[in-house]
């Protein structure tokens, strides 16, 4: 994975020639991004893809990928984000997590274009009551637009009592529970059930390439859980479909596209991280996205032989703490982190023979472990296509937008 040494020298020469000397710097390779978008579509084999905004957090990149015919709509992670995206032209946004921000719910209820474009996620009746309570004085007129809702079904794998694989998400596990909540939605004026979602995170989000006993166990778990997911999802969709006309059934993630696309009950697949190809995605067995986002940091000191110290670089990914949450050193690739410091907020010492060749002012290139989180640390991404710099895209933060 990653660019060859010569290509990194070419990149650094391009940046120097165009006057981009300041670090840290985030560089987005549009050729790699577009190749990843095409590969995700190939893997989906005709099933539409809904792009997960949290994996980009850059409006320009969302708009770029949505021009492709295989992509339809956005999977956002908060209602304030969805409202902001609609204000900027988005027309199909599903909010992946339950929304309890009363102010945002009131804004949704007051904006006809948002009510037409945004679907909220629910998984219990308390969320329904909160939505209705927050908007009660704004839904007084007969014929007013209803708030669009989708149910999230839990498809974690629980082969034995006390054994569970998958994120702790929805409490709706059985088709009967899904039907009960669907009836509760339909019984409440002002609400409309239009979709379902079921995210198989234990397949899509768990790496499986390690040539170890753990890697083999993960691959076995995935193989055994797929039939369970397909059966429960199909049964729940059929049962809820007797109560409501479902516009969409969303499933999957970058790591499970092929198996999700094979299910007849699924009408669309969520994907986002595969567009960027972050460090964690080096550890999947069946696909290999191009690394599209590089983070350049400066060498600022040489504290000892074989050691170079970077300014900053401590961009640690969310999730269970571990070495896989550290950035990947893309170039020089032979460098390693100092074990007593790893990647730090203010400094990151790197070790190895290549460190001896680094000089103050040189650049070390990193890749974040996750796709969207670098956008919280940079105001913009510098766009490179071929051997040209073609502009910038501001991140959400660069546009002054902060969600979570």
What b/e readout covers 215-238, taking b as 16+ CB neighbours within 10 angstroms?
eeebbebbeebbeebbebbbbbbe
User: Residue 392 above 60 pLDDT?
Assistant: yes
Q: What is the pLDDT of residues 181-239, one digit of tens each?
A: 999 999 999 999 999 999 998 888 788 778 888 888 888 888 888 988 999 999 999 99
Cα angle, residue 138 at apex, residues 402 and 247 outer, rounded to 5°: 70
Helix (H, G, I), strand (E, B) or coil at 269: strand
Spatial contact of 389 and 369, defined as CB atoms under 8 Å apart = no
Provide the phi-psi class of 353: left if phi over 0, else alpha when psi is between -120 and 50, else beta: alpha
Residues 351, 335 contacting (CB under 8 angstroms): yes
State the average pLDDT over residues 146-152: 97
Q: In this predicted structure, what is the pLDDT of residue 1? A: 40
Phi, psi angle pair for 131, to nearest 5° = -60, -45
Is the four-CA dihedral 334, 335, 340, 344 of positive or negative sign?
A: negative
Q: Biggest alpha carbon distance in the chain?
A: 76
Q: Evaluate the omega torsion of the peptide bond into residue 332 and state whether it is cis, within 30 degrees of 0.
A: yes
Confidence band of 164 (pLDDT split at 50, 70, 90): confident
Tokens linked to 372: 């969207």
* Cis status of the peptide bond prior to 236, with omega within 30 of 0: no
In 167-209, beta strands by DSSP E:
191-198
Nearest one of 119, 36, 98 to 71, comparing CA atoms: 36
pTM above 0.75, yes or no: yes
* Cα angle, residue 206 at apex, residues 202 and 210 outer, rounded to 5°: 135
For 2, the token pair is 């990653």
Calculate mean pLDDT across residues 73-97: 97
């Amino acid at each position: 994975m990653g660019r060859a040494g010569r290509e990194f020298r070419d990149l650094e020469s391009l940046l120097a020639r165009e006057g981009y000397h300041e670090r840290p710097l985030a560089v987005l390779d549009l050729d790699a991004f577009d190749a990843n978008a095409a590969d995700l579509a190939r893997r989906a084999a005709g099933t539409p893809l809904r792009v997960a905004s949290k994996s980009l957090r850059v409006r320009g990149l969302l708009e770029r990928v949505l021009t492709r015919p295989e992509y339809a709509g956005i999977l956002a992670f908060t209602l304030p984000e969805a409202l902001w995206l609609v204000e900027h032209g988005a027309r199909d946004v599903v909010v992946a997590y339950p929304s309890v921000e009363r102010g945002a719910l009131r804004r949704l209820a007051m904006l006809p274009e948002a009510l037409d474009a945004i679907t909220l996620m629910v998984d219990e009746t308390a969320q329904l009551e909160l939505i209705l309570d927050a908007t009660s004085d704004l839904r007084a007129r007969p014929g007013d637009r209803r708030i669009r809702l989708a149910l999230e079904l839990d498809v974690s794998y629980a082969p034995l009592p006390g054994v569970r694989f998958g994120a702790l998400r929805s409490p709706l596990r059985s088709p009967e529970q899904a039907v009960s909540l669907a009836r509760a939605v339909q019984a409440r004026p002002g609400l409309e059930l239009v979709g379902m979602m079921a995210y198989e995170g234990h397949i899509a989000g768990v790496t499986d390439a390690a040539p170890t006993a753990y890697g083999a166990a993960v691959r076995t778990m995935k193989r055994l859980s797929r039939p369970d997911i397909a059966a429960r999802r199909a049964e729940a969709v059929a049962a809820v479909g007797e109560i409501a006309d479902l516009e969409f059934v969303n499933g999957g993630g970058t790591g499970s596209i092929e198996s999700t696309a094979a299910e007849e009950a699924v009408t669309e697949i969520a994907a986002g991280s595969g567009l960027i190809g972050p460090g964690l995605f080096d550890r999947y067995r069946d696909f290999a996205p191009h690394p599209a986002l590089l983070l350049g940091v400066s060498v600022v000191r040489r504290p000892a032989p074989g050691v170079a110290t970077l300014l900053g670089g401590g961009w640690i990914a969310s999730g269970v703490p571990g070495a896989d949450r550290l950035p990947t050193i893309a170039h020089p690739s032979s460098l390693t982190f100092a074990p007593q410091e790893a990647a730090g907020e203010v400094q990151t010492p790197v070790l190895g023979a290549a460190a001896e060749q680094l000089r103050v002012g040189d650049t070390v290139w990193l890749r974040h472990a996750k796709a969207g989180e670098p956008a919280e640390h940079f105001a913009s991404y510098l766009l490179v296509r071929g051997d040209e710099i073609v502009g910038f895209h501001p991140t959400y933060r660069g546009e002054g937008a902060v969600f979570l």
